[in-house]
Amino acid sequence: MPNVSLHRTFTDSFTQLPQKIQKSTWDLVFKLKDNPEANGLNFERLKRTTDSHIYSARVNNDYRAIILKPKTEDVFMLAYVDKHDDAYRWAERRRFEVNKYTGTFQMYIDSTDRDFNEVSQGLFSHYTSEQLLALGVPADVISPVQSLKNEEELLELGEHVPEDAMLALQFLAQGDQYDDVLETITDCRKPGASYMESFINTPEQVAVITSDQHLQEVLSASFEKWRFYLHPSQLELVHKDFAGSVRVLGGAGTGKTVVALHRGCNLAKYHIQTDEKILVTTYTANLANILAEQMDHLVQGKVRNQIEIKHIDLLAREICEQRIGLSIQKLVTDEQDNGIWEQIKSAYQFDEDTIQLAKKEYKYVIDPEGIRNLDEYLDVVRTGMKHRLGKVGRRAVWDVVEKYRNWMAERKWFRYADLIRHARIWLEENPGKINFRVAIVDEVQDFSQEALKLIRALVPINRNDLFFVGDPQQGIYGHRVVMSRCGIDIRGGRSKRLRINYRTTEQIRKQAIQVLKGIEFDDLDGQSNPTDDISLLTGSKPLIKKLSSKDEEAGYLVQEIKNLIKQGYQAHEIAIFGRVSKTLNKFVSQLEEADIPVNSLTTKSHIKQTGVHYGTMHRSKGLEFRVVFLVGMSKGYMPLQFVVKKQETEEEKQIILKQERSLFYVAATRAREKLYISYHGEASPFLFPKSHHLGYDDLLYNERNDKL
Ligand SMILES: Nc1ncnc2c1ncn2[C@@H]1O[C@H](COP(=O)(O)OP(=O)(O)OP(=O)(O)O)[C@@H](O)[C@H]1O
């Protein structure tokens, strides 16, 4: 029986088909698998293609599938399906090859009839043809590549370069060392491959079908690519047996969540005992919901039940209520918490300076370090705090803190951070009372030190015990952590990076990342963390639009959304984000007036299949949409002048500014295909950053501007 494989372009084209045609295509695949000679398949070689082993097969009267059938091997690879003429046109100039240097399967559009002149100061002038060949650039593509002057021209070559070679070239263009790029390639590929071997070497593009059930799964799934096409760099992280805890960092859209889900699923299936459990956790409730939904796609039944998915606050709350027996009268928000400090001040007649110092010490030292008593506070090293605070000062601070804590305890009021601390202390004092065999943590950059210690206390030290994924550039909650100080020991080989962005186009990624230029991010363990990803997709440049008033901006938004819907975009594939929810009201009401359905994104809401989604930029975390509008991006509102201004010290202001930059980066990278940024009055300095240092003139809201 022949082996059947599906190329990613086949799954892409399949999803676009009407349901009836999908059914016929499905029948075709099964027939092909059983007997390619069967009547009615019209399995015939395409004459016009550059390759002699490309065939078409009949789906029905109108539709054809394009299939690769090498002469010497009993394998079929389905490459594309579409209406007869469109399918033929798609195949016409497409080459299907095994690269003899990398052993990868390569598909690209022939461009040998064009003239390319080698340039002396080109993008790749300092590499020899041999060096480029070794990276997997096909011989025919060497001269187009050597004619390139800049990165933009490289991206324009698009499908004329095979995907794996394009990635290697993009990394080189970005400044990676040649040897490093070559090593990454040779690490995961094997030269001298047959077609079948090349499919296996290229798992990000070709799904090799292993059984009828597998074929059923691939065909009946709704074709989320991430379920079947993983890059070797992702697959390694899913399957590798690690001696201890692992941290995977990568920019937005590099597939960290995808890897975390697959790894959780893989460990649950093959590595844990039936009475053991895996914890999958993240920072917010709605992200935990999304993770649970996606995990349901990967695994069901008994194995799924061994995977518990919960956000960290809920986990801590359950431990506090169900294990420790805490009775929680009220969960205090940040705003209410500020009010409590004010009350302590007037009840005990503390002066403003003492209260402010105590608050700051609580926020940056006592709370993050999980300090329980004065002795611990007197001993602690106040990491990151610029001003010395001696014993007398600390005693004075502790006097206020004790009163604050008593105030909360008497009323049985808690913040989530308190619940995390209580749960952590209880777990450390009661080892083995709750055990997970493995914990997988998504969005680790948003976890506090206490939360990380809680995770550590939940999982005994073992092989593959903890798996963290995150992006320090997306830290929007201001936690400063050093993982090694939380009992989490990540040695060199277990600190990994993902660098290929699968979500956003390179143009959107570039616009988003420029706001972080020159800003230092560490790897959550004190070492620097580079920002050097690349995107696989290309598209149009983000559109930045200046409007003269808020009304005009709202009108513009409505018009653009109407246009997109006319072009075939569904309303739910579009999202609008603003810095604060108040900003959005006007925009939302105008959309409603124009009869465009809308959906608010709240803490617990799910992505729905109807209506344009809207919410604050904080709500955009972890989500993705085909089109994103960032509205109200005016000076004074991005970064939000009010939160920057209310910080006491310059140092605190800079911390908030960094968070605001990250917030912009997060929201902009939610866009898969199109990003629209609009403002009225003066532009946010994040839109056209001149330098990474922002003076206060760049931030202050100009009172003459139209109010948002
Ligand atoms: N190998 C792959 N092939 C195709 N699509 C992929 C692949 N890996 C990830 N994706 C897709 O890329 C998008 C981003 O993936 P994912 O959400 O895992 O990224 P992330 O790194 O967690 O992003 P963020 O940090 O921004 O939340 C998703 O749509 C996902 O389905």
pLDDT (0 to 100) of residue 110: 87
CA 178, chain centre distance (Å):
27
CATH number attached to the domain at 3-97+195-208: 3.30.2310.20
Sign of the alpha-carbon torsion through 564, 567, 571, 574 = negative
CA of 606 to the centre of ligand 1 (A): 18
Alpha carbon distance 163, 158 (integer Å): 9
Any ligand 1 atom below 6 A from CB of 255: yes
Parallel, antiparallel, or unpaired for β 500-505 and 534-537?
A: parallel
Q: Verify whether ligand 1 is closer than 6 Å to residue 231 (CB atom).
A: yes
Residue type, 426: W
Strand, helix or coil for residue 248: strand
Best of 441, 499, 503, 669 to mutate for ligand 1, by most ligand atoms within 8 A of CB?
503
For residue 262 and ligand 1, the question of a CB distance below 6 A is answered with: no
d(CA 366, CA 372): 8
Residue nearest to atom 6 of ligand 1 (CA): 226
d(CA 340, CA 113): 75
Write the residue with the smallest CA distance to atom 31 of ligand 1.
226
Helical pair 178-188 and 163-173, crossing angle rounded to 10 deg: 150
539-589: per-residue pLDDT in tens?
A: 999 999 999 999 999 999 999 999 999 999 999 999 999 999 888 998 999
pLDDT at 383: 74
Structural tokens at position 64: 């054809």
Report the nearest-CA residue for atom 29 of ligand 1: 503
The pLDDT confidence band at residue 606, using thresholds 50, 70 and 90, is low
Q: Is 217 in the pocket of ligand 1 (CB under 6 A)?
A: no
Question: Residue 618 — φ and ψ, nearest 5°?
Answer: -60, -35
In ligand 1, which atom is closest to the CA atom of 470? 25
Q: Is the pLDDT of residue 122 over 50?
A: yes
CATH of domain 534-699: 3.40.50.300
Asked if 449 and 481 count as a contact pair (C-beta separation under 8 A), the reply is yes
Say if 3-97+195-208 and 232-316+436-456+463-495 have the same CATH topology.
no
ipTM greater than cut 0.90 = yes
H/E element, 64: strand 63-68
pLDDT, tens digit (0-9, with 9 covering 90-100), for 76-94: 999 999 999 999 999 988 9
Atom of ligand 1 at shortest range from CA of 204:
1
- According to the model, what pLDDT value does residue 410 have? 93
Which of 264, 278, 251, 280 lies closest to 516, judged by CA?
251
- Please state, as a whole number, how many other Cβ atoms lie within 10 Å of the Cβ of residue 255: 24
pLDDT at 447 over 90: yes
Rounded to whole angstroms, how far apart are CA atoms 190 and 528? Answer: 32
Dihedral, 453, 454, 459, 460 alpha carbons, nearest 10: 50
Pocket test residue of 501, 502, 505 for ligand 1, highest count of atoms within 8 A of CB: 502
Q: So where are the chain's domains?
A: 3-97+195-208, 105-187, 232-316+436-456+463-495, 330-411, 534-699
Ligand 1 pocket test: which of 10, 224, 248, 258 has the largest number of ligand atoms within 8 Å of its C-beta?
Answer: 258
**Is 254 annotated as a binding-site member?**
yes
Q: Can you give the length of the chain in residues?
A: 708
Calculate the dihedral angle through the C-alpha atoms of 426, 427, 428, 429, rounding to the nearest 10 degrees.
Answer: 50
| Test site for ligand 1: of 10, 218, 226, 509, most ligand atoms within 8 A of the Cβ | 226
Closest CA to 151 of 136, 162, 139, 166: 166
- At residue 535, the 3 state secondary structure works out as strand
What Rg value do the Cα atoms of the chain yield, rounded?
Answer: 28
Q: pTM here?
A: 0.91
Which residue reads 């052993």 in tokens? 103
CA dist 492 to 113, 263, 269, 361, 489, Å?
Answer: 48, 20, 27, 33, 10
CA distance 476 to 498: 20
Q: Is the peptide bond prior to 639 cis by the omega test (within 30 degrees of 0)?
A: yes
Indicate the CATH number of 232-316+436-456+463-495 among 3.30.830.10, 3.40.50.300, 1.20.140.10, 3.40.980.10.
Answer: 3.40.50.300
CA distance 444 to 437: 19
Mean pLDDT of 293-304: 93
For the CA of 623, the nearest atom of ligand 1? 27
- Residue 5, phi then psi, degrees to nearest 5: -125, 155
Percent of the chain with pLDDT over 70: 94
Q: CB of 258 closer than 6 A to ligand 1? A: yes
Q: Which two tokens stand for residue 194?
A: 């047959």
Report the first-to-last Cα separation within the chain, whole angstroms: 66
Which residue(s) pair with 108 in the sheet?
A: 95
* Rounded Cα distance, 43 and 55, in Å: 6
Task: Write the pLDDT tens digit of every residue in 347-365.
Answer: 999 999 999 899 989 988 8
